[in-house]
Each structure stands twice: as structure tokens, then as C-alpha cells.
Amino acid sequence: MKWHHLSIEQVADQLTTSIDSGLSSAEIDNRIKQYGYNRIEQAKEKSPWQILLQQFLAPVVYLLIAAAAISFFLGDVAEGIAIIIVIFINAAIGFYMEWQAITSMNAIKKMDVVQAKVIREGTLLEVPSDEVTIGDLIYIEAGDVIPSDARLTETRQLQVNESALTGESLPVEKKNILLPEDTILAEQHNMLFKGTTAVQGNAKAIVVGIGINTELGNISEMVMQAQQSATPLEKKLEALTKKLIWLTVLLAIGYFLIGFFKGNSFLLLLETAIAMAVAAIPEGLPIVATIALARGMLRMSKKNVLVKHLASVETLGSANVILTDKTGTLTENKIKPTTIVTGKQTYELDELKEVVDEDRPVIDKVFLIALLCNNAIIHAEGKEIGDPLEVSLLKWAASHQFSLQNMQKKFPRIDEEPFSSDTKYMGTLHKKNEKFIVCAKGAPEELLQKCTHVFDGNKTTILTDNKRNDWLRHSEVLAQEGVRVLAFAYLETTNHPGNDFLQHLILVALIGFIDPPQQQVLQAIDECKQAGIKVVMLTGDHPSTALHIARKIHLTEDGVVVNGKDITDWSKMGKEEKKEVLASPVFARVTPRQKLDIVTLYQENGYIAAMTGDGVNDAPALKKADIGIAMGLRGTQIAKESADLILKDDSFTSIVSAIKQGRIIFENIRKCIIFLLSCNLSEILVISTAAFLSIASPLTPLQILYLNLVTDVFPALALGMGRGDATVMKRPPRRSEEGMITVQDWKAILIYSVIITLSIAAVFVYCQHYLQFDDHICNNIVFLGLAMAQLLHVFNLSSARVSFFKSEITMNPYIWYGIVVCVLIVTVSYLIPSVRSVLSLQPLSWQIIMLILMEAILPIIIIQMLKRLKMIM
């Protein structure tokens, strides 16, 4: 129903209610039964069991479970138990971090019960807002949260802050008028909407929508319908895991078939095939990735970013477009005076210290009018009451040492003409001794008609028609930049000016007001540009206001703004037309549905989209985006529920810090995977080389698992805790289609593993054929040699562009801690008889230990030489 297009009598008739006395008590119960309570159901929170189960729903975990099952089936209990322990450690870390995030979210939630004022049977009552029903007559006054959607019946200077719903920065003046049927939401001035706040005046209205059948409810429904796809990291890890599964199956089947046709023992073939399968699976990858993400989560928490899901940490690092709301995200969400126009010149607010001498009396007069012609109050504890624009005038005057209390004592008010939507100005009359002072402010086009003179600092001069038109042109120029302009005027006289005291006024100045950009936003956007990240403004505000802010923060220079009114149906647009629309960095007058569509369109064009916002109108897009970022201080509850990250300080710069952490984490995880896969591939090559040469397998499945879980995991963990390099935010984002491991990476993995294998194989052949060591000793030389070679292999992940001894790997203390821990574990494993027996370890002479060290050191020397020769990266 287009309630804004109906007269109030038609609305009352449609809903069978009274404009004067509201509903009867008996009717209330019937309507609550018919329409239900005025509630919007919130998304059901995940239970601890659901969060725990989610930690097991990943292909790499399925692979580990299959490996454990096969181990138990073949009687390798120790091996099966080891794999199960790995799975549960990974799940415990992921569960703990996500449960902590949920606990923090619950602490942020506000549990206040909102009361609503209703008129029933002619009596004003206060009831819980969820008991407000269709047809109720509600009474609203300054400070009230609107409990439902309603059609206004009468108003008295009512202004409503609708920024959370529409993105409009300034309070909207409301009145009982008839509007065209196609009036957009932001311009429905005869309607009230659930969740918005009255900031001035009072009104009565008939309830036309409750619960889910409100504008707020429609947005909540869009949030529930918006489907969030898997994060880029989850997609890439899943793709990598599938490749590893196929590699594992192919290697095992290939080896098994070749051995079978050679007539080898079936049991030996099966055990060796399993050994190869275990070697192909990087058992430590889930733990390493989870801990790297968890550490990033903790780092972000210290930088005022609450992360609700582990994988979201890395996703932000992949983002190549940030779609951001304007009000409260890029701007302060506080109206402030920014520009003063006098008869001499125009000043920006921060230039007032440099005012020319002739204008100093003008500025002082402006402060006098700002304080006296003002109904706002700021209490000692900081509570603000009244029109936000008037509050901003009080703060501005106070910052220049002008006291409201002193002015009110000096110039007590004796009369007032309040602001109205018809006159568009307000005035107050004051008396000091025998002198009367009139102060006025209002819309320039109206107040200038009441002015006959202009104050220029030294004297007053006649305001001619030409001068009046000049002042109006100044006002129009500011208005076109999205600035709200008020004229300030006064009159001093020894005679009482009478009841109609707003006559023959003296014009003093024009003041422009705007919701200014946050100070640190400009630097943050510049950093995003350096990092190759596109920043796009999506706002429900007026196009001129959006453009003014966009220019202030260097978001655009060409002045192109896409108006949501002009976008009727995306489906009718061609591919090129859509791309042309997406090229604009500023969208104004966009609806919540359009924000959701724009996010979807960017995703369909290959972007990893981050969406920031704080209002109800941002919630559907926040949920749909690859990464949703809500404001913690100003954000509405529905926005926080829909987001993946919450900025506890509402600072746009925190997003840049989070992006940096995300990029570092991805690079760290990529290095971990390269390290783990090159180690695992070297194990596969060692086993397969021995198998194809019909030599007994030099490694047992349990020894391979030990290598993968001990000597591989700790160095990989250390890589995952690296701080990254200084250029991480000076590089463009990764391409969305680029896999976790590139072709160049696979080439490096192959070279690394071949060199490690050749070193191990050379020593193995030397010991077996020339030194005539038995198979058990040769097995130990291969096992411990691989353990040491893989430990030292971590240093091969450093860049060849810097000195080996000053690289990010060598300077990472966690690398050294990891190596020391691994050496201690291997030593302890050797010294404990039961563990030594399980791992098939033999007593070793110093000669054997030297051979082990030689096969461990040789690969790092060869690889570093190849890097210096630029044969590998």
C-alpha cells in the first residue's frame, strides 16, 4: 500500500481507526492476534555444537579422516591415533577463536527494551514497542525511537534522523502532506519509519506497518535471503586439496599397478602405496592455516577490528574493491559548520584565526546569534538535546570561548518565533538593560526578505536588490556542493519591536553546514589507491552532498555521480552499460536493494568485494559481500549481525590495517604450503624412486607421518607468524582467479623437492652399496636426513633479492624457535625407548650422524646457489 499517497482520512478508513482517539482496548487484542507482535525475528545464533561441527567440514579434513580409517583398518593404531589428534587440535583452535568472536559480539549487543507512546480510547499510554499494532495512534516527541512505520496525522516542527535507513546525513523535516505515488523512500516526508529517531518537535501518526512488514523488516528479510559465498581462501584451499587428492590417488594406484605386474608382494605394495598417500597429504596444513589465521585475528583485535570468522582475516587481504557507505563511515555523522560567508569574503572554519580585522566584529556577531537563537542544550555530562544543527552551533561557539550560559544571562529571552516549515526561519527577542536585541536564522531565500541592511564589521549599509541577489548566488553555489546554508541576522533597538519583531533585520553572514569527512579517511583512501584497491561510495544521500564529500577525500575528480533514481532495472542493462556504471566511484540516492545489486554486480565481474557500513540500509549488502565490515560504535545491531568484521573504533583507517594483515597472512600461508608440499613431494620422490628401482621402501608410513607432523609443522607454523615485508601495501591485489599456488610456485616446489631427493638418495645409495650398511641403518639415515633437510629447507623460502642472513626468514625469531623445538623433539624421540622402537630407530655412530648432517646441509647450499644465479625465485 502506498500510504504516503493517501490522505489521512483514507488511511484511517482503510485501517478502521480514529484520528483523534486511536483504537479501543478490545480491538488491540484482536489485532495482535491477527497481525502478530511488532517484532523482527533475528537470525538464529549458531550453537557451540554447530561451530565445532563446522571445523570438520573441509576436504583436507575428509582426507585426513580417510587416512586414519585406512591406518586403523591395516592395524597401524599409532599412526591412526596420530592423525586423529591432528584433526582435533585443528578443530579445537578454530572453535576457540570463533567462539571468542561470538562472545565479543554478544557483549556488543544492546538489550534495552524500547517503550512506545500510544493514544488508545483517547488516553496517552506507554506500552512495550512490540505491543504496538496496525491502526494504533502513536505519539512521538524529541528523543523517541519510532516503533513502527506510520502515516503522520499532525506535526509540530518534527524532525527525524533517518540516516540509519536512508543514509541522509541531516535530520528530515516531517509534515502531514499528500505526496505523489512514485515518491522515493528518502523523500516520503509524511511517513515515519521503524528504527529511526525523532530529534525535534512532536507528532501523532497512525501505524501502517509492524514487524517484518516495515521498511526495516523488508531490509531484514533481504539480509536473511542474501547468500554469502565461500571465502576466497576457502575456495583456494578446497581447490588445492582436490588437486592433492587426485595426486595422492594417482601416485598410489600407479605404484601399486607397476609393482603388481612386477609380481611384488601384495601386502608390501599396499603398505608402500599407503606410505605414498600419507606422504602426499600435508597433514600439518589445516593446523598451520588455522593458527596463521587465528594469529591474524588476534593482531586485528589489538587494532580495534573484531573478526567473527577465521577465514575472513585473509579474505580482506584479497579485496580489490571497498564499497563504503558515506554517513558515519567516511564522514563523522555529525553536522558541523564548515563555511562562513561575510560581506568581505568566504572563510573555511579552520581559517577563522586568520579573519581580517574588518570581519572580526561580524564573526563575533555570528557567535552571538548562534547562541541566543538556539533551543538546543548540552548537559554537563555531555548529553545533547535538540536539533543536531543547533547542537553543532553550541559546540562551535564553545570552541571559541563563547559561553551559552553567560550569553543567556546577559541577554535573557523574552519572546520567540519558532521555526516552521512554512516560514523556514526562527527568531528570538532578548533584552539587555534598555536595549532590545533580535536574533534570527533561517533559509537565505526567506530570511533575506526580512533584511533591509547588511553589517560589514564597521557599519551597516542598505541591502539593495543587487546585493540581495549576490548573497543568494553565494547560497546557491554552496547548496550545489551539498552544503546546507543558513542566513544569520539581527536587530538592535531601544524600542520594543512588537509581536512581529522579525522585520527590518540586518544581515550578518551565511553559514554552510555539512557532515564532514573523518580526518584520517583521506590518508586511508590514498593508501588503498597505492595498494590497487578501488574505493566506491554508496549512499542514500543527495548526489551533490555525496559529490562534495567524494571530492574532499580525493575519491573523484570528474564529478560523475550515478543517481539511484536513474537505475530502474539492472537486468535490462547490457554488459558494457553495466561496466560503465561500475566505473563511477560515487553512487547516490541508492536504496538497500540497489546496494545489494551493486555488490552482486561487482562480484559477477570478478571483484573480491568488501562492503563497509553502519546503517540498517547497509545490512543486506554487508551480508552479501565477500567481506562485510560494520561500525562498532555507531553501527546498528542488524549491521553488526550481518558483517564478518566489526570496527570497534569506527575508523576507516582500521580497514587499511586489516587489509595489510590479510595480505601478510595470505603470503605466509602460501609460503607454508610451498614449504609443506616441497617437503612432502621429496618424501614421495624418495619412496617412488626406491620402489621403481625395486629397492625396499626407505621410509615407513609412521615415519612419514612423524616427518609431516613434527619436522614439517613447526617451521611451517613459524612461517605463518611472519610479519611480512614493507611493500605488501604497495602491490596490486592478487587476481581473483589466481590459485593458492601459481605455476611459478609449482616449478619452485618441484625443483626444491628434486634437489632434496637427490641429496638423500645419493647418501642412501652410498651407504647401502659402498658402506654396506644394513637396511635398518639406511632407513634411519634417510628418515633423520629428511627430518634435518626439511628443517633447514625453511630458509630456502627467503627472497633472493636480499642477503640470506638478513632475509625476512632468517630475521624471524619464530623460525629459530621452531628449529630448536624440532631438534629437541627428535632427540627426545631417539632417547625414549618406546618411541625409538615405534619409529624403528637404531643406535647411531658419529660417522652416521655426520652423513645425516651432510645430506641435510647439501640441499640448502645448492638451492641458495641457484637462487643467486636467478635460476629459481
* Residue 295 grid coordinates: 594469529
Give the residue from 782, 794, 791 showing the smallest Cα distance to 852.
782
**325, 359, 541, 644: which is the annotated catalytic residue?**
325
The H-or-E segment that residue 665 falls in is: helix 652-692
How many helices, marked H, and strands, marked E, lie in the chain?
Answer: 30, 26
Q: Is 225 exposed, middle or buried (0-12, 13-18, 19+ CB in 10 A)?
A: exposed
Dihedrals phi, psi of 466, to nearest 5 degrees: -65, -45
> Within 13 A of 111's CA, how many CA atoms are on the CB side?
3
Q: Does 325 qualify as catalytic in the annotation? A: yes
Distant-in-sequence, close-in-space partners of 610: CB < 8 Å, separation ≥ 6:
316, 319, 321, 322, 323, 625, 626, 627, 628, 629, 655
Q: What is the maximum alpha-carbon separation in the chain?
A: 123
Give the residue from 332, 733, 329, 335 showing the smallest Cα distance to 538.
329
Residue 179 in contact with residue 4, Cβ under 8 Å? yes
DSSP 755-782: HHHHHHHHHHHIIIIIS---HHHHHHHH
> Within 13 A of 468's CA, how many CA atoms are on the CB side?
16
Residue 861: CB atoms within 10 A of its CB come to 12
Dihedrals phi, psi of 184, to nearest 5 degrees: -75, 160
**3-class secondary structure per residue, 708-737:** HHHHCHHHHHHHHCCCCCCCHHHCCCCCCC
Beta bridge partners of 588: 563
Using CA atoms, how far apart are residues 173 and 157, in angstroms rounded to an integer? 7
Question: What angle in degrees, to the nearest 10, is found between the helix axes of 652-692 and 285-302?
Answer: 170
Dihedrals phi, psi of 77, to nearest 5 degrees: -65, -45
**3-class secondary structure per residue, 380-438:** CCCCEECCHHHHHHHHHHHHCCCCHHHHHHHCCEEEEECCCCCCCEEEEEEEECCEEEE
Distance of CA 843 to the CA centre of its chain: 57
Task: Say how many Å lie between the first and final Cα of the chain, rounded.
Answer: 66
Give the residue from 328, 405, 337 showing the smallest Cα distance to 366.
337
CA 428 → CA 261, 424, 439, distances in Å?
105, 14, 5
* Residue 511 grid coordinates: 553559514
Q: Coil, strand, or helix at residue 559?
A: coil
Using CA atoms, how far apart are residues 394 and 417, in angstroms rounded to an integer? 20
Using CA atoms, how far apart are residues 638 and 631, in angstroms rounded to an integer? 11
Which sequence positions are flagged as catalytic? Answer: 325
